[in-house]
Structure 1
């Protein structure tokens, strides 16, 4: 049976689309700038009553074809489409609740071999499960963190706002990944506790969490202001690890010949001398 989370997600995606974006007239009085329910139903080829029941979380079970139609109508990206499917299923996905916190020994060896590349392993809610010395030297001493979680670090450690040059972008990206984790395992007590703590502690987290954005592991660039090395521009790669539910290996590298590459080389020398 569709959940309250699915209903909220559908509403949030509907509200963000302007009618003219999907070829509909923007005229007439609207309570909000987004699409009306009937317009989403029209675009998806389903009845307005059926869509209304979906948004109300009432007893309907959308088929894969309906979910695909909604994903097209609401312009969902691949991560959002996957999230919609997870929220719509009638039973929880099978998860290895005990094993998903353990990192495969082969991955741990890989982290050690990446002695000049900052790298760590995260789970879906961005707990840092394993890391190498370079990533600790780049970001923070993970072993000393009160809560070893990157979202918690972003909102609860004052150093994060100066460390991440584009702090808001990074924080909202992390929230979108955390939202995806709630779709993978809606009843996870640790994820729920993290969301509740951050909701209580941070007005910014509350506001951005309500946007219902969703994102999975990705590739991109982040800017850091390192306390010893200064400004760093690093490319990151997040790779979902085979045989796991949600673990991802994240690595950071710099463009060849760039000042950031020289700074990473300097960091590697400092780590090697410890």
Structure 2
């Protein structure tokens, strides 16, 4: 091996050593928390530790005892995404703990679906307190995770209708006659550029790849704009929406990071004029009104985008 090769490998192995040590300590601590009863096993006798034994974790996770022992000892071995996921489930890790385990194992954390995202009740309280400002929490893929009553009054078709609960999907695929976005042509390119910036952190992940593939097939506009390779960050934007019951509403959309929910952001819509404010208030006082004034056949998309 040349001196160049040796120099290139030394920093990598040196930086990996603390991570492996931390991984070993984390696995041991979490293994001690899980009792045999937690996983449906008899407690047994003469246990020296309160939690599971290494061989029990290995058996439940479907991996070799020696391999798992080496992992807990911090030895330089590689672990696949499937194996780490199986170990995480065996140890009954929460979403944040699982993401931490993935990073310690040198893997990218799995992107969670909207329904699986960790969410604390206190954050829902913040959303509710912001009403009558329409407010929602989304991830970097535009999945809508939680929302308040004002948001639901403004976008009921997006939340309650068939299909994906995803604002970009609705914006890109809903037909123009049913699309609530009046200035869609200005905002869709920006949304797709922001999506690509997020995609750069998740290239190759099945959930992301499936989402991109489905959008490419469903929306020629998305396919055209995606091919431009533009990237952008979230920023304050002016958006115009329409609702069949009240007409157009002009809103300013501001994004804020959400602590404790990976890659999540809170988007708060503020009416830009008194007329828009009054129309949102009226929609909240009269929930359940149809977003559009016509009906499509079952095969066509209907509802509302963001």
Question: Normalization by structure 2: what TM-score?
Answer: 0.53
Alignment of 1:94-173 (within 5 A): 94-95=108-109, 97-98=111-112, 101-141=117-157, 142-158=159-175, 162-173=179-190
- Contact (CA 8 Å) 2:193, 2:232: kept in 1 or not? yes
- Contact (CA 8 Å) 2:118, 2:261: kept in 1 or not? no
Paired with 2:248 and 2:203, the residues of 1 have a C-alpha distance of 38
- The counterpart of 1:252, out of the listed 269, 272, 277, is 269
Paired with 2:175 and 2:140, the residues of 1 have a C-alpha distance of 23
| Superposition deviation, residue 201 in structure 1 | 2.1
Change (3 A) 1:108 1:159: farther
| Superposition deviation, residue 96 in structure 1 | 6.2
- Contact (CA 8 Å) 1:119, 1:250: kept in 2 or not? yes
- Contact (CA 8 Å) 1:217, 1:239: kept in 2 or not? no
- Residue 55 of structure 1 corresponds to none
My pick for the range that moved more, 193-202 or 141-150, is 141-150
In the alignment of these two chains, the number of paired residues is 181
Paired with 2:238 and 2:278, the residues of 1 have a C-alpha distance of 17
- Contact (CA 8 Å) 1:217, 1:240: kept in 2 or not? no
Residue 211 of structure 1 pairs with residue 228 of structure 2 = yes
- Residue 229 of structure 1 corresponds to 246
| Superposition deviation, residue 162 in structure 1 | 3.9
- 5+ residue gaps, structure 2, are 1-104, 289-306
Change (3 A) 1:113 1:96: farther
Larger Rg: 2
Change (3 A) 1:93 1:212: farther
| Superposition deviation, residue 243 in structure 1 | 3.3
- The counterpart of 1:267, out of the listed 251, 275, 283, is 283
- Residue 218 of structure 2 corresponds to 201
- Residue 75 of structure 1 corresponds to none
Change (3 A) 1:152 1:92: farther
Over residues 216-258 of structure 1, what are the superposed CA-to-partner deviations in whole Å (9 max), with x where a residue is unaligned? 22212101122111111111111111233310001111136x2
Change (3 A) 1:92 1:192: farther
| Superposition deviation, residue 197 in structure 1 | 0.8
| Superposition deviation, residue 114 in structure 1 | 2.4
Paired with 2:177 and 2:190, the residues of 1 have a C-alpha distance of 14
| Superposition deviation, residue 115 in structure 1 | 2.8
Change (3 A) 1:162 1:98: closer
My pick for the range that moved more, 171-180 or 138-147, is 138-147
Change (3 A) 1:237 1:160: farther
